[in-house]
Amino acid sequence: MKKQYEALFQSYEFKKGISLKNRIVMAPMTNFASHDDGTVSQDELEYYKRRSKGAGMVITACSYVSPSGKGFLGQFSSYTDDMVGSLRKVATTIQDEGAKAILQIYHGGRLSPAHLVPNHDVVSASVVETEQKNEDGSTLMTRALTHEEIVAIIDDFAETTRRAIEAGFDGIEIHGANRYLVQQFYSGYTNQREDAWGGSVEKRMKFPLAVVDAVVDTVKKHATKPFIVGYRFSPEEPEEAGITMKETYALVDELVKKDIDYLHVSVFDFWSLPRRGEENQTISRMEHLQNRVGADMPIIGVGSISTPEQAAKALQVVPLLAIGRELIIDPDWVQKVEKGQEDTIVTKLHSDKQQQLVVPDALWQVILNTPSWFPIEGEN
């Protein structure tokens, strides 16, 4: 490999002793390929197999921890013990190709489509609008979770962690980003409660931190070998009452005190600048966050990194880097860089290469029918 890319292929060891062969992580990406009963399909396993040879760690698509948390058609489940066998297939498939396997776990909250959850009962921290419509054309509103239901969902995160341990995963990632339930509780836009679970910043972060505590306690109780815990978050929201950088700093300050192993920052552009809550607009949000945590907690950076040059530059800011779409377009991206063949990296999706790229039908159709999501050969 070229000397300028050597840092990408340095090993990395988490504090719990799990070692990655390089600094590249496969980002979690929904693939819409699971069976209706929540078990993984062979197409899904082949998709992971094709992409697990190069990266040091693979974070799966998000798996829903509660029946009320399903967010997509073709999404795999982790909310019952019946799913352990299915989960084990995912973990083994990834690990057999040389990567560490991390199960991302989440609850969709207000983003769960009504037709995918029991009784069309879409729940969130508060009664808020969704982007869905009722039969009469009115906007579908969420139902605010009760205290008892909140406690039950926290336990669902813990139970899914136990299942991930039993299935042989190397760790889990709590999905506290992208406007799903964990983030909904922290956001002043979606959490308008006036009880112990909402109001002040401290009360709004109670649910995310309770999920972290429950997961960490489960790992201590059930894991018989090193098992890592990560937390993914979105640093800002565009709404006036939404999360600001200042509020994200407050959450991060608490997360670094917990017995977790990494933070994963979810942004579309790695180098994007802060919007609100940070006076210094000259450096990126990623740089601000890495400066905030220092050496106390490794950060996984992500966001429109497509070339090895971009990856090497980003790795000067954070110790680990996630790439997503690039591993769909070219599953051999990492190996090509390692072998000094970066000039052969494919940069646009070829619409006639689905079988060669091993992309499930549903994901392939979503990609082709979502303008500007992927660069596609032949498009301007």
Sign of CA dihedral 189, 212, 151, 142: positive
Whole-number CA gyration radius for the chain: 20
| 12 belongs to the catalytic site | no
Domains and CATH numbers, the chain: 3-346 (3.20.20.70)
Closest Cα to residue 112, out of 102, 121, 104?
121
Q: Give the rounded distance of the alpha carbon of 197 from its chain centre.
A: 24
pTM: 0.97
By the 10 Å C-beta count (0-12 exposed, 13-18 middle, 19+ buried), 343 is classed as exposed
Number of Cβ within 10 Å of residue 275's Cβ equals 15
| Residues forming beta bridges with residue 100, ordered by sequence position | 57
What is the token pair recorded at 319?
């110790």
Distances in Å between the Cα of 260 and the Cα atoms of 2, 107, 256 are 34, 20, 7
Q: Hey, what amino acid is at 380?
A: N
Q: Give the rounded distance of the alpha carbon of 338 from its chain centre.
A: 25
**DSSP secondary structure letters along 283-308:** S-HHHHHHHHHGGGS-EEE-SS--SH
SS3 content of the chain, % helix, strand, coil (to 5): 40, 15, 45
**Confidence (pLDDT) at 372:** 86
**Confidence (pLDDT) at 379:** 58
Q: Rounded to an integer, what distance in angstroms lies between the CA atom of residue 43 and that of residue 28?
A: 17
Taking only the tens of pLDDT, the chain with its 380 residues reads: 899 999 999 999 999 999 999 999 999 999 999 999 999 999 999 999 999 999 999 999 999 999 999 999 999 999 999 999 999 999 999 999 999 999 999 999 999 999 999 999 999 999 999 999 999 999 999 999 999 999 999 999 999 999 999 999 999 999 999 999 999 999 999 999 999 999 999 999 999 999 999 999 999 999 999 999 999 999 999 999 999 999 999 999 999 999 999 999 999 999 999 999 999 999 999 999 999 998 889 999 999 999 999 999 999 999 999 999 999 999 999 999 999 999 999 999 988 999 999 999 999 999 999 988 999 986 54
Closest Cα to residue 156, out of 189, 193, 131, 123?
123
Q: Rounded to an integer, what distance in angstroms lies between the CA atom of residue 7 and that of residue 22?
A: 8
**Confidence (pLDDT) at 358:** 97
Instruction: Output DSSP code: residue 81.
Output: G
Residue 250 CB-half CA count within 13 A: 17
For 61, left (φ over 0), alpha (ψ -120 to 50), or beta?
beta
What is the token pair recorded at 100?
């560490």
**Catalytic residue, candidates 47, 79, 180, 231:** 180
Residue pair 255/262 in contact (Cβ under 8 Å)? The answer is no
Task: Please calculate the CA angle 313-316-320 and round it to the nearest 5 degrees.
Answer: 100
Pairing mode of beta strands 139-141, 129-133? antiparallel
What is the token pair recorded at 226?
């090193």
Q: Rounded to an integer, what distance in angstroms lies between the CA atom of residue 103 and that of residue 168?
A: 10
What is the token pair recorded at 378?
């032949």
* 3-state SS assignment for residue 19: strand
The structure tokens 């999920």 sit at 211
Number of Cβ within 10 Å of residue 274's Cβ equals 22
| Residues forming beta bridges with residue 133, ordered by sequence position | 139
Q: Hey, what amino acid is at 286?
A: M
* 3-state SS assignment for residue 206: helix
